[in-house]
A and B are shown apart, each in its own frame.
Chain A
Amino acid sequence: MNEDIVRVLAPQVLGILVRRGNDFAAAEDAVQEALLEAHRSWRDAPPDDPKGWLLTVAGRKLIDARRSEAARRRREDALSHEPQPGPAEQSDDTLLLLFLSCHPALSPASAIALTLRAVGGLTTREIAEAFMVPEATMAQRISRAKRTVSGQPFTAPGDVAVVLRVLYLIFNEGYSGRVDLSAEAIRLTRQLALASDEPEVAGLLALMLLHHARRAARTDEYGALVPLDKQDRSRWNEAEIVEGVRILQAALARDRRGEYQIQAAVAALHDDARTAEETDWPQILAWYDELLERTDNPMAALSRAVALGEVDGPLVGLRAAEELAPRLGDHHRLDAVRARLYERAGHLDLAAEHFSRAASRARSTAERDYLTRQAARLRRG
């Protein structure tokens, strides 16, 4: 497909232009224009050398832009940002562009939009559709992000943790518009994994694959959520599970564990069970214990309470969940976990009540509908 070629080549062409000393924002504009021209003029058949074509067109756009800018006596400032000459490796370019697009000076929303455009090769319209905002609004968000990044020192080493967080946010946006953002996040994380041997990069890639593998089973034919223990496991994507586990094992073998590797290990244990009953909850609990040594994230602690409920019984799990109440307040997930544990403990009225409370505060229609039906099921029984 043309579109795929274009999207793989876009960051490579941008990387070359930036390495040649062009301002990131100006080069990114030029590549975007070249992409739009490619969409228009390639139709079914790309040229023999699509990368050379894009580079030539983008280079020409850049010169045109610089001439008109120079006429208005602007841009001089931006052009003084010369990058360090580096080896002409594509993976280095990907890394450079990811560090720029996920610059810590950017808000997450800006970093997400810029990453999808500069590294993902998506058009502004596609990104706007994915987030269901007008194209003009997304264009502004991206150009503000580029202005912010252009003012930043160029050669500062990037923080890979920030890049991973942005990629994980993109993954969690899922699929709501025409663009599958989860698949896009996996694609970008694969590219990053080629360029970085940081085990947490592999950990995040494994985590994404191991969750993505369950996607077909996560909703039924009407789009309703199916919880993990009720999913048809034959619909899980075996190839993604195998790949995720392999990547995870290689990462864990390096003995530099981090949060993504640990979460991936939990996901792998779920994916490994042929039935919900076969789930190795004691080992999942052990991983959550290790996760909580590294983070005081209350949502991670809530997941641990679920695992604890499976291992030591629902009342023990409930006690752990209640300890989180001061920190989670009236978050709907806390009530959903309480409901689930009350049900297992045989307190069906309390379970129904908590499912209803969770439903009233859910922020996604899919979760709300699921929780509402759970409450109805228990009230009838």
Chain B
Amino acid sequence: MPKYLLLKHYTGGPERHPNMVPMSEWTEDEITAHIAFQRHVCELLQQRGELVDVQALSPERTYVRYGGPDAAPVTTDGPFPETKELAAGWFLIDVESEARAREVAAYVSSAPGKGGQPVYEWIEVRPVMTDAPPQAE
């Protein structure tokens, strides 16, 4: 059974659908409906025995790297170009096939947004590598 990471982004990715209006312009009810849908997706995946993990990420980010011998680590927290991808969270799923992973991604993307209309959000689908060596040559 392959695992896939379904990534949601704050910024970046292909050109956005006009329905992807920033959440700051939604009404309270629209936001509530959106969050309820996310929970519904989790329950559905759980019931089907496909959910491995779900997490949301804070938009804050800091880049850190080794600073060299006897030097402090180098850090930077931006600013970064607006086009840069910023991950917002993920569903990690364990499914029958890549086709099923894409089906789940499309469903996640249909979450209700402004005016109760689907947000048509781009979901990035990434295969997770297995670390089990093959049993045959």
Contact = CB atoms under 8 A, between A and B. Distances in A.
A141 interface: yes
B6 to A, nearest CB: 15
Nearest to A208: B135
B129 A365 contact: yes
Contacts of B49: 109-110, 113, 133, 137-142, 144
Contacts of B96: 107-109
Contact of B131 (A109, A144, A365): A365
A291 B34 CA distance: 53
A174 interface: yes
B68 interface: no
Nearest to B50: A137
A227 B3 CA distance: 26
A168 to B, nearest CB: 10
Interface in B44-96: 46-53, 94-96
Contacts of B47: 140, 144
Say whether chain A's binding surface is mostly helix, strand, loop, or mixed: helix
A211 interface: yes
Contacts of B3: 132
Contacts of A218: 133, 137
Interface string A181-214: 0100000000000000000000000000001101
Contacts of B46: 136-137, 140
A175 B132 CA distance: 6
B1 interface: yes
A133 B94 contact: yes
A137 B42 CA distance: 11
Interface in A16-58: none
Nearest to B137: A228
Interface string B94-126: 111000000000000000000000000000000
B130 interface: yes
State which size class the interface on A falls in: 35 or more
B130 A172 contact: no
A366 B51 contact: no
Contact of B1 (A131, A363, A365): A131
Interface in A111-147: 112-113, 131-134, 136-142, 144
B94 A363 contact: no
B14 interface: no
Contacts of B130: 176, 363-365
B27 to A, nearest CB: 34
A173 interface: yes
A173 to B, nearest CB: 7
A171 B132 CA distance: 12
Contacts of A368: 129
Interface string A210-254: 011011001100010101100000000000000000000000000
A367 interface: yes
A363 B133 contact: no
A362 B129 CA distance: 8
A137 B133 contact: no
A173 B132 contact: yes
B134 interface: yes
Contact of B127 (A174, A270, A363): A363
A108 B96 CA distance: 8
Contact of A133 (B52, B133, B136): B52
A226 to B, nearest CB: 10
Interface in A341-368: 362-368
A107 B50 CA distance: 13
Contact of A134 (B51, B131, B134): B51
A270 B137 CA distance: 11
A364 B48 contact: no
Contacts of B52: 132-134, 137
17 contacts: A109-B95, A109-B96, A131-B1, A133-B52, A137-B46, A137-B51, A140-B48, A175-B132, A182-B135, A212-B135, A215-B135, A364-B130, A364-B131, A364-B132, A366-B133, A367-B134, A368-B129
Given A172-B135, A212-B135, 15 more contacts: A109-B95, A112-B1, A133-B94, A134-B51, A134-B52, A137-B50, A140-B49, A144-B47, A144-B49, A174-B133, A174-B134, A174-B135, A211-B135, A363-B2, A366-B131
Q: 3 closest Cβ contacts across the A-B interface?
A: A141-B49, A176-B132, A140-B49
